[in-house]
Amino acid sequence: MEHIYNFTEEKFKEYFTKIGEKPFRAKQIIPWLYRQKVTSFNEMTDIKKTLWPVLEKDFKFDELECITKNVSSDGTVKFLFKLNDGNLIESVLMTQDYGNSLCVTSEVGCNMACAFCASGLKKKVRNLETYEMVLQVLTVEKLYNVKISHVVVMGIGEPFDNYDNVLDFLTILNHPLGLAIGQRHLTVSTCGLVPKIKEFADFPLQINLAISLHAPNNKLRDSLMPINKAYPIEELFAALNYYYEKTNRRITIEYILIKEVNDSEKEAYELANLLRGMNVYVNLIPYNEVLENPFRRSTKERQRKFYDILKKQGIDVTLRKEQGSDIAAACGQLRSKYLDDKR
């Protein structure tokens, strides 16, 4: 049996061809799944009745069980979901003036081991399958009776370490007969897996790419993000330039501000020099403190100073408004838990 929310239009076409049906059935089934949101085939009235039992035998409609929901004072909602195998994951709903944005988890645990991040405290257990990411969106829409207009793959996990499933997920979200979330409303964030950034340059959808940089030189980045030892800044930036040449799309650079670690004037100038001439947009994120590590949030003054330097150096920059930190739903505060985990 296949998980139905794993299927892109392409995969449905292959399936229908294989069972001797016309590939156009793919286009019939997608609106039922993502517009009407039915969860049985006998509701799909324009699909012939004789096909229903075949589909029933081949596909299952999974669900995500919502264990808890935490609502922040700013309206941000964190959902704790249980997967079929008992693993727990989190998704975060942020209501913005431009719409509803969902932060989606891509892996159970994470192997990237960034020193400052809570998600990497638990080693990766497994990739999420496409359907488990799709269900985060569908379930939140159902539970909250909202339309998700933006999706960021910035929850637990490294999306480019689960590349194929994540891209199928984004392809499904974008399908015009389905949820139809615009390409530019979709963002994937990576800590810098160079070969995948190059591969992503050739991906046909115009999805936003965000890079977790967090340090302007290799020495500091090595100490914060082990991935930098495999793909140092020179290689990362060569990949970003390649990506830009191919796609002409502006890249978002994420930079968390950690007190007296990466937030000095020296680092601000260094960052400006590194980025000068590139078509990038810098998102400064005040660090969210995590119990298990010694890092602290940059002070308001240091944040401001860092921002001002970049601005004066002609870099396009914003200082991110933070959401959900009172319920540990902010960047880097999500963690994979298990039912038997007493934490």
Question: Which are the catalytic amino acids?
Answer: 90, 331
**334 Cα distance to chain centroid:** 12
The minimum distance between CB 334 and ligand SAH, in angstroms, equals 8
Residues with Cβ within 8 Å of 97's Cβ and at least 6 positions away in sequence, in order, are: none
Residues 241-260 that bind ligand SAH (CB under 6 A): 254, 256
Q: In what order do the strands lie in the sheet with 317-319?
A: 65-71, 77-82, 88-96, 99-103, 150-153, 186-190, 208-212, 251-257, 280-286, 317-319
The minimum distance between CB 128 and ligand SAH, in angstroms, equals 13
Q: How many CB atoms lie within 10 A of CB 109?
A: 20
Identify which of residues 172 and 331 has a Cβ nearer to ligand SAH in the complex: 331
Residue 26 as a binder of ligand SAH (CB under 6 A): the answer is no
228's torsion region: left (phi>0), alpha (psi -120 to 50) or beta? alpha
- Segment interacting with ligand SAH, rule: CB under 6 A, options 80-88, 112-120, 133-141, 311-319: 112-120
Tell me the per-residue interface mask from 210 to 229 with ligand SAH, x by CB under 6 A, - otherwise. --x-----------------
- Segment interacting with ligand SAH, rule: CB under 6 A, options 114-122, 135-143, 171-179, 199-207: 114-122
- Segment interacting with ligand SAH, rule: CB under 6 A, options 80-88, 123-131, 189-197, 244-252: 189-197
Which residue is nearest to ligand SAH, using beta carbons? 332
Rounded CA-CA distance 211/241 in Å is 13
Residues with Cβ within 8 Å of 48's Cβ and at least 6 positions away in sequence, in order, are: none
Closest CA to 224 of 287, 318, 301: 287
- Segment interacting with ligand SAH, rule: CB under 6 A, options 4-12, 70-78, 238-246, 282-290: 282-290
The minimum distance between CB 225 and ligand SAH, in angstroms, equals 8
The minimum distance between CB 54 and ligand SAH, in angstroms, equals 39
Residues 49-88 that bind ligand SAH (CB under 6 A): none
Nearest 5°: phi and psi at 61? Answer: -95, 110
SS3 202: coil
Tell me the per-residue interface mask from 139 to 178 with ligand SAH, x by CB under 6 A, - otherwise. ---------------x---x--------------------
Residues 285-324 that bind ligand SAH (CB under 6 A): 285, 287-288, 290
Task: Provide the residue type at 318 as one letter.
Answer: T
Return the axis-axis angle of helices 9-18 and 25-34, rounded to nearest 10°: 130
Identify which of residues 148 and 329 has a Cβ nearer to ligand SAH in the complex: 329
Rounded CA-CA distance 269/289 in Å is 25
Residues with Cβ within 8 Å of 45's Cβ and at least 6 positions away in sequence, in order, are: none
Rounded CA-CA distance 70/75 in Å is 10
The minimum distance between CB 332 and ligand SAH, in angstroms, equals 2
Work out which of 94, 117, 261, 329 binds ligand SAH, going by CB under 6 A: 117
Rounded CA-CA distance 193/69 in Å is 32
Size of the site for ligand SAH (CB under 6 A): 18
SS3 44: coil
Closest CA to 3 of 64, 77, 72: 64
Residue 102 as a binder of ligand SAH (CB under 6 A): the answer is no
Identify which of residues 30 and 167 has a Cβ nearer to ligand SAH in the complex: 167
Rounded CA-CA distance 53/31 in Å is 19
Positions that interact with ligand SAH (CB under 6 A): 112, 114, 116-117, 154, 158, 189-191, 212, 254, 256, 285, 287-288, 290, 331-332
